[in-house]
Structures are given as C-alpha cells and as structure tokens.
Amino acid sequence: MNANRLNRLLMLIAGILVFASAGQAARDCRNIQGVNILLVDNSRSVPPLDPRMERSEVLDAIEALLENFENRLILFGGRGEVVIDEPSRFINDGMHTDFFFAFQAAVGIRNEYPPDCPVKIILITDGLLDAFVTDYPNEGLSRKVQAMEYSLDQTLKLLEENPVETYIILLGERYELAIMEQISITANGFARANPLMEKAAEFLGNDGLLLKQFIFKHEPEAGIEEMKEIVRTITTDDTPYFENFLFIGLIIAGLVAVVLYFRSFPAVGDQEIIELVEGVTVLVGAEVKNPSVIANPAHFSRKRGFQYVTSTTSALASLSYQQRKLDFSSRGCKDLDKLTPIQRSLLEEDLQRVAIRLNEMEREGRDEEIIVATDLRYYCSNLSMDQIRSIIQAREQDRSKVGALDLLHAKVYLSMAPDLMEELSEYRVLINIPSRNVVRAPVDKGRQYQLGGYRVLIVEVDKDSRYSARVVMEYLAIPSLLGLKRFLPAALQRTLRLRRPLRTPFVAEI
C-alpha cells in the first residue's frame, strides 16, 4: 500500500515538473519584433511621467508606440506590491521601493519566452531604494539599513544569475546613481554598461553602432514626448551589418597600425653604416627622447633604432678610430739597474734614433760601444714576432713583468723593421660599452655586442685610410611591443614592413 502511494506521489511530482518546464517557454515570439518588460516604479515617491496626463495614459502611449512588440507590464513597490499586466493599477500607492521583488517578477516573465527571443527590461523609477525589514521575515534582519543592503545584494545576485538586457529611465533628481549603475552593470555586463561606456555612448549619440547607453534621465517637465524618444531609442533595432563593417574596418586599421609599427623602427637584418674619422668619438644611443642631445636633429623623428647622440649619459656605446699608442719608454720596467750606461742611453732614445745611433756606434764608437751594438743586433735577431708583440703591446698593469733588456732588444728590432712597426701601431676601431663591466676593445668583423635592448653583429670593418674608417652593424635582436620583434621570424617581419632589409647611414633618417 505504501509502495503504491509512493509511486502515485512520484508520478504526480513528475507531471508537475513537466507542466512547469513546458510553461517556462510557453509563449511564442516568432511574429513580433521582441518582448519589452516595462518595470514601472509604483511607489509614492515617483514624480509624474507627464504633468498633463494621467499615469495610466502615459503607459498607454508607450504601449501604442511599441505596437510591433509584445509588451508586459510590472508595477512594483514592496514585496506585496507587485502587479503584473494591470496598467490601471499605476496610481503610485506603493509604500516603499524594493527592486529585488520587481526583478524577480521580470525574470519570471522572461523565462516564459524561448531563450532566443529578444527580451528587454525597461526599468522606470525614481532610483530610490527603500526596502523594509518586514519584507524579509526569515532573514533575521532587525534594522532598515540591513534590509537595504540585503535587498541590493539579492537583486545583483539575481541579475548575475539571470542576465537580461536592462535599460533604466530615471525620473526626477533624487536618484541613487551608484545603485542604478550597479544594477545596469550586473544585468548588461561591465564591458558594455560601466560609467565610462555610458558617457561614451551618450557622447556618440547613443546610436548603437559602437556603444549603447543603458541609463537615461527623464525630466517630468519634458513630458511624454521625451519619454517616447527614450523608449524609441531603447527599442530601435541596431544595424548589425554596419557594426560588422566597422569591425572589419577596425581589423584593417589594426593591421595597418601593425605594419606602420614594424616600419617605424629597424628589423632583424637591417644595417647601420657608421662613418668614423681619426680622433673623433661617435656616441651611439637608442630611442632618445630629448632632441637636444641628438647630433642630427632630422634623426629625432626615428623613434626606434640607434641614434647619434652628443651626451655620454644618453649613449649605449662609443666608437672611435685611432692609432695604437706604443710605449717605448723604460717606465715601469724591471731590472733597469742591470743595464750598462750605454744600454740605458739607447733605451731612452726615440725609436727613429735607435738605428742611427747603432750605426754610429759601430762605425765611430769606442770598443765597448761596438761590442754593445753588435750584441744587440745579434740578440734581437733571435726574437720571435710573438715575443716582440707581447713586449711592446704589454698593458700598463703588466709593465712590471717586462725586463728592461728585453724592451731594448724589441726596440732595436723594430728600429730595423719599419713594416712590423707599422703593423704594431696600426689604426684600429675601438668600442667602449659602459656597463657593469666596462668593455673597451677593438671592433672585429663577426663580433656581437649587446647594446641596451639591441643585439648587433659587426659585418664590416673597413679602414678607408689613415684618417677614416667605416663600421657596418647588423641588427640581430630588437626590443619591441610584447617582444614581437624578438620572436617573429625575420622573413615575417620583412613581409609586414613591405620592404627589403635597409642599409642606412647611421646619422640619416630611416
């Protein structure tokens, strides 16, 4: 017996659920433009929509304006003051205003229509939340402020779970804009209805092409005509084809911007030609914003890539073309006291005078001078090229390791080998990179350098003469937005730039 009762009870519940689910989308909107749910504040604080008309007449005028839509009316106040589809009850007799029960009824109406049916909620209110503790008897609320907070929280939670495109028409000047904005943002989404978008939509005339306005203000003195205009704006269909056109246009504009962005500074494979003159230092900067420190003012327009600057504080590196300075003095050498007076006097002679002095000593010198000259020529002839280089090119900090007699032998050798002397005192391109570890070294073909966010390869070092040289740097890596220049293949970068790799003078404008 109990089993039979249970089965009948389950069948009854199943039937109720089927009926309820069928009733949720029982209405059809195939032959109408859409559904408008007019959510009208019926509380005593609401000013008249038009001073010259009865309130119900205004509703009739709005409904007549929306004759191609299915329009549903919800008059609301507090919990027990919600009336559906009875325009004659619009008499402003509500004791208070609670938006939660109003939207709860609106969501219920929305669920009567299929999900793909276009439904809009149009809230007409003075924007003053006035919730009462007695409307929430089971929530343990004791103060009005608690009821106000709870009502707003429940309203926002309801709209978050059941978003419906919602428009708000504010009446009078006493509305609480912050609450209205929260409701609008929750119902329509922050991307469409935040205060900034509201202002932008209002500025653009609210034509719906780019932005929609969701909160409108209605002055009672403006009457029915302004109300009709607002409702007409809300319910007018957008033109999606034009929005699509604008969207495509924005994509094209974005691609053009990307191309221009890639053309605005060098790409991998581009080269800088730096002309150098003996004794003149060239300071290399990048993306310097101050035109007063840029050597060529026309170059300031190039925002990316290397720039010829005049301030060392703006420089990433400096390049110079100069002859190697060789120190033939005895300064800092060891074992100076072991030299004979004749050897010491030869060591102090200028390099050009050493060979002359040796000849004089051999032809006209005393016996001891002839012996010294002969020994020097003999011993220096046994030195290798590497020994000569290590002695002559010793750095200042290594000078104390060079013997005075070894220096004299190298000096004698060079006085008799002008070709080697020219090689050792060659003109060189030097680079100085101020950083945590200062780099100062000759610039050689094939070397790579990191200059700020740029990495470059030296592809040419040409010494045109004793007075000028040319260095060609090729970009290997370039800083850019989101690292696009670093990660995109060089071929793709050249395609986006619509040109071959550039080979440009350093001080010229790209």
At residue 83, does pLDDT exceed 70? yes
* H/E element, 475: strand 468-477
CA distances from 57 to 123, 367, 478 (A): 18, 138, 70
Domains of the chain, start order: 31-238 (3.40.50.410), 267-324+427-505 (no CATH), 336-424 (no CATH)
The answer to whether 25 touches 112, Cβ cutoff 8 Å, is: yes
The percentage of residues in the chain with a pLDDT greater than 90, rounded to a whole number, is 21
pLDDT at position 337 is 79
Structure tokens at 70: 């299915």
Task: Specify the pTM.
Answer: 0.48
CB atoms within 10 A of CB 222: 14
- Asked if residue 111 lies in contact with residue 25, where contact means CB atoms within 8 angstroms, the answer is yes
| Parallel, antiparallel or unpaired: strands 70-76 and 454-462 | unpaired
User: What's the mean pLDDT in 270-293?
Assistant: 84
- Compute, in degrees rounded to 10, the torsion defined by CA atoms 53, 56, 59, 61: -50
**How do residues 196-243 score in pLDDT, each as one tens digit?**
777 777 766 665 555 788 999 988 778 888 888 889 888 886 554 444
Q: Tell me the average pLDDT across 274-291.
A: 84
Which runs of consecutive H residues, i.e. helices, occur in 237-300? 240-263
What is the phi/psi pair of residue 184, to 5°? -65, -45
Q: Are 33 and 237 in contact (CB under 8 A)?
A: yes
pLDDT digits (tens, 9 = 90+) for 249-278: 777 777 776 666 555 567 778 888 888 888
pLDDT tens-digit readout, 326-350: 767 777 788 887 888 888 888 777 7
165 and 119 Cβ atoms separated by less than 8 Å: yes
**353-362 per-position pLDDT tens digit:** 777 888 888 8
Burial class (CB in 10 A: 0-12, 13-18, 19+), 321: buried
Query: Which range among 63-77, 162-176, 208-222 shows the weakest confidence by mean pLDDT?
Result: 208-222
**Tens of pLDDT along 451-465?**
888 889 999 988 877
Distances (CA, A) of 442 to 323, 327, 453: 11, 18, 22
